[in-house]
Amino acid sequence: MTRKFFFFSEMGYNAYPVEALEKYGYSALLFPNSIFDAEKARDLWQMFLREHEYASEIGFDGSVCNEHHNNVLSMQESVNISAAVISQRIKGAIALIGNPLPIHDNPVRVAEEIAMLDLISGGRIISGFVRGTGIEQLSTNANPAYNRERFEEAFALIKKTWTVSGPFRWEGKHYHLRVVNPWQLPLQKPHPPIWAAGILSPETIRWAARQRITYLVLGSALDATATCRDIYHEVAREDGWTPTPEHLGYLIHTAVMDTDEEAYEMGRYHYGGASVIGRSGGVAQSALSSGTGSAGATGGGPHPEWMAPPGYMSKQAKTGNMARERRMSEGSYDAALRAGLIVTGSPKTIVQKFKHIIDRTDPGYLTFWAREGKKPHEATMRGIELLGKEVIPVLREHQSALVSGKEVTPWPE
Partner 1 sequence: MAGMNDLSRLVDAGGITIELRRGGSGAPLLVIHGELGVPGWLDSFAQLAKHYDVIVPLLPGYGRSTRPDWIMSVHDLAAWITWFARDLDLRTPVNVIGCSLGGWVAAEIATVAPQFLNKLVLVGAMGIKPEHGEIFDYFLESGLTGLRRAFYRPEQSPGFTRYWGKEWTPEEADLIEQHREMTCRIAWKPYMHSLTLRYLLPGIITPTLLVWGRDDAITPLECGEIYQHAIPRSQLAVIEHCGHMPEMEQPAEFSQLVEHFLSG
Q: With respect to partner 1, which residue has the nearer C-beta, 144 or 186?
A: 144
**Going by C-beta distance under 8 Å and a sequence separation of 6 or more, which residues neighbour residue 107?**
101, 153, 154, 155, 157, 158, 161, 175
The stretch near partner 1 (CB under 8 A) out of 65-73, 142-150, 280-288, 384-392 is 142-150
Determine the interface stretch with partner 1 among 48-56, 180-188, 268-276, 302-310 (rule: CB under 8 A): 302-310
Q: Are the beta carbons of 326 and 200 closer than 8 angstroms?
A: yes
The residue among 6 and 175 lying less far from partner 1, judged by its C-beta, is 175
Residues in 18-37 at the binding interface with partner 1, rule: CB under 8 A: 29-30
Would you give the binding string for partner 1 spanning residues 307-336, x where CB under 8 A is met? --xxx---x---------------------
What type of residue sits at position 293? G
For residues 294 and 346, give the distance between their C-alpha atoms in angstroms, rounded to a whole number: 22
Tell me the C-alpha distance between 308 and 311, whole Å: 8
Q: How far is the CB of 143 from partner 1 (least distance, A)?
A: 4
Among 305, 374, 396, 406, binds partner 1 (CB under 8 A): 305
- Contact region for partner 1 (CB under 8 A) — 225-233, 263-271, 303-311, 326-334? 303-311
Q: 263: number of CA atoms within 13 Å, CB side? A: 24
Size of the site for partner 1 (CB under 8 A): 16
Element (H, E) at 170: strand 168-171
Instruction: Quote the least distance from Cβ 113 to partner 1, whole Å.
Output: 24
Q: How far apart are the first and last CA of the chain?
A: 32
Candidate segments 11-19, 49-57, 141-149, 237-245, binder of partner 1 by CB under 8 A: 141-149
What is the nearest approach in angstroms of partner 1 to the Cβ of residue 304? 8
Least separation, in Å, of the C-beta of 327 and partner 1?
16
**Contact code string over 333-352 relative to partner 1, x by CB under 8 A:** --------------------
Instruction: Kindly tell me which of 311 and 320 has the beta carbon lying closer to partner 1.
Output: 311
Residue closer to partner 1 by CB (options 100, 309) is: 309
The rounded distance, in Å, linking the Cα atoms of 343 and 335 is 11
Residue 277 phi, psi (nearest 5)? -80, -5
Residue 282 binding partner 1, by CB under 8 A:
no
- Alpha-carbon gap, residue 333 to 274, rounded angstroms: 9
178 in contact with partner 1 (CB under 8 A) = no
Q: How near is the Cβ of 257 to partner 1 at its closest, in Å? A: 41
Nearest-CA neighbor of 49 among 94, 16, 17, 18? Answer: 94
CA-CA distance, 290 to 285, in Å (whole number)?
10
Nearest approach, Cβ of 158 to partner 1 (angstroms)? 23
Q: Which of residues 111-140 bind partner 1 (CB under 8 A)?
A: 138
Among 18, 40, 106, 145, binds partner 1 (CB under 8 A): 145
| Integer Cα distance of 288 and 276 in angstroms | 10
Determine if 281 is a binding residue for partner 1 (CB under 8 A). no
Contacts 24+ apart (CB under 8 A), 394-401: 394/351, 395/3, 395/5, 395/351, 395/354, 395/355, 395/358, 395/366, 396/2, 396/3, 396/5, 398/355, 398/358, 400/245, 400/358, 400/359, 400/361, 400/362, 401/359, 401/360
| Chain positions contacting partner 1, by CB under 8 A | 29-30, 138, 141, 143-146, 303-306, 309-311, 315
